[in-house]
Structure 1
Amino acid sequence: MQMKVGDVMSREVRTVQPGQRILEVASLMCLYRYHGLPVVDDAGRLVGVVAERDVLHSLFPTIDSLVAEGMHGVDLDRQLETYGEVLERSVEELMTHSPISVDPEMHLLRAATVMVRHNFRRIPVTEHGRLVGMLSLGDVHKAIFHANITGALAR
């Protein structure tokens, strides 16, 4: 039996839009423990992914400030104070554009290989550019486990 992404992916996916403020995204991340969210346009096409690391990366000192002040000269407390400014930015400003995705017809292990190669715990599933689901490593493992345990119990 060939296992496909579409057989095990989550179809109920929380999304955000490019024009939303990071404040809304950060609220969702903190409240629901999302580590990242797919970004879709009005037609449901996947245009990006915004992750916690994208938000936090905005707080890091710039290369210019590190060169000017040196690593020990950067005021990290002052950097933290800029978080309020980050929350006012748009999703489009911070998101990863043109994200990697998989197709629902892709073999499950091929999709898992893509995920592991890119160090992703979850990946968007798209069909003709439209977001149709999300696949997590947990989904992959659970599907393989169930397929094998069912076979083992039948023996």
Structure 2
Amino acid sequence: MCTDVRTCNVDTPIKEIATVMCFNKISGMPVVDAENNVVGIISEKDILCSMFPDMKELVDSGAKADFEGMEKDYTSVLGKTVGDLMTSVVASVSPDMPILRAASMMWIRKIRRIPVTENNKLVGILSMGDVHKAVFQESLLLNN
């Protein structure tokens, strides 16, 4: 896991989060409160999905999706806060959980990162890349 985790809070502007994500090649980050309790997670997917209209409404109305207009409307998304767009039901793992069990939780939920917590306090984040690296290193050790 990575213990140097970039976090944000519910009041952080999306413009700030998008800047951090784009310039640091981060696809998501935990949302924490003042006591470092995990209260949500915000991802690029959350931000981009907020730009799309409700597909059921779009189909029911018979309207065409104006994708070019949606791209231009991105600035309205930047005016929102993390609390407006974050996923508030967050799965987490403990630091002592077997790595493949943690990976299976990510696979089942179709997520690429999961917060690592102790008593709901953020202590790190585990990504699929971390899992792959750990399994690969263990494989090298066993074969030598």
TM-score, length of structure 1 as denominator length: 0.85
TM-score, length of structure 2 as denominator length: 0.91
Q: 1:20: how far off?
A: 0.6
The one of 20, 34, 59 equivalent to 1:42 is: 34
Aligned residues: 143
* Cα distance change on mapping 1:77 and 1:144 into 2, 3 Å: closer
The one of 2, 9, 12 equivalent to 1:20 is: 12
Q: 1:71: how far off?
A: 4.4
User: Which residue is 1:124 aligned to?
Assistant: 115
Q: 1:80: how far off?
A: 2.1
The structure number with the bigger radius of gyration is: 1
Identity in percent: 41
Structure 2's unaligned 5+ residue stretches are none
User: Which residue is 2:72 aligned to?
Assistant: 81
Structure 1's unaligned 5+ residue stretches are 1-8
Indicate whether 1:64 and 2:57 are aligned. Answer: yes
* Equivalent position amino acid for 2:98 in 1: H
C-alpha distance in structure 2 between counterparts of 1:110 and 1:56, whole Å: 29
